[in-house]
Amino acid sequence: MMADWPKRVNKERGGDLLPDEELVDACFFQGRGSLDAMIAFAGRRFGPNPGDKVDSQLTAEAQQFAEAAKQAEMSQNHAPEGSMGSKIPDDKGVIAVTTRRVIFFAYKQGTFKTKIEDPTLAVSREDVRSWEYTSGKATSELALGFSDGSHMVIELPRLNKPDDFAAKVGIPTSA
């Protein structure tokens, strides 16, 4: 069973909401290319071994390959340093949409405990000039365009019910 993200945001980060705003919905996200990186790592790490490499060498090479795959995906984003888009976590986080703002929280995933951390970006809904949701099989994508010209695409894993999130928040869906 996946986390009830709105409940967790209200419990762990409710103090970050303004007195006159209400949480509409929230969802876990990961950086663009995260799924591709996981698949690339698994393919490299657990694929055929040429026979002369030890596990640590295979793991190191697989990590480099996975990071390169993720960076190739991330390079399609436009988020210059200091821009709104640059403040969205590259790894993982939680997006919360309120009646007034869109808030991006950092997320810490430990061995036994997870934590929604401080906001990395909180912008008025008017500063989100465009957003478009594309449903997928394992992950869905949310493309965001900001008033400063930056744009980012984040992945919403299927287990977190991103279709429900997009519908509740009113994000336009692409085919």
Bridge partners, residue 109, by sequence: 114
Q: What is the mean pLDDT of the chain?
A: 80
This prediction has a pTM of 0.76
CA separation for the pair 77, 80 (Å, rounded):
9
Please list, in sequence order, all residues whose beta carbon lies within 8 angstroms of the beta carbon of residue 67, skipping any fewer than 6 positions away.
37
Mean per-residue pLDDT, 72-89? 75
Q: Are 83 and 150 in contact (CB under 8 A)?
A: yes
What six digits make up the tokens of 161?
């019910």
Segment 14-54, tens digit of pLDDT: 999 999 999 999 999 987 544 444 444 444 445 555 555 55
What are the boundaries of each domain within the chain? 5-32+77-169, 35-74
CA separation for the pair 24, 45 (Å, rounded):
41
Q: How crowded is residue 77: how many other Cβ atoms within 10 Å of its Cβ?
A: 20
Give me the CATH topology for the region 5-32+77-169: PH-domain like (2.30.29)
Please list, in sequence order, all residues whose beta carbon lies within 8 angstroms of the beta carbon of residue 154, skipping any fewer than 6 positions away.
29, 30, 31, 32, 88, 95, 141, 142, 144
